[in-house]
Amino acid sequence: MKKILCIVGLMMIIVAMKPPPEQGFWVIITRDNAPAMTVVRFYNERQVLVYEEHLDGVRLDGSNHRVQQRLNKSLRTALVAWEGNRKVMRDQGLVAMLFR
């Protein structure tokens, strides 16, 4: 009986230490044959598209730390807006305004 209580207690500690799930993620899409066009898509933690923006004349480098920070900021804004109306927004300028 003590073994069972010990195991259950240990499992509860492991669950409590687990970090919270990510709020969402972003994807950058660029095509080699398209002249400097980028599509940025934001998804929630359930992999549901919440926002999409087309950027003409811009190529974003997703490995750049500053780009990642700006996209994460836009992601948070898009997730808050999506929670309010549950509709996919498109081309509202959330990303473009941070890269001007």
Q: Which tens digit of pLDDT belongs to each residue from 80-98?
A: 888 888 888 888 888 888 7
- Asked if the model's pLDDT at residue 50 lies above 90, the reply is yes
pLDDT, position 56? 86
pLDDT, position 27? 93
Is the whole model's pTM more than 0.75, yes or no? no
> Which helix H or strand E contains 37, and what residues bound it?
strand 37-44
Angle ∠(87,29,83) on CA atoms, nearest 5: 20
Give per-residue pLDDT as tens, 14-29. Answer: 333 333 446 899 999 8
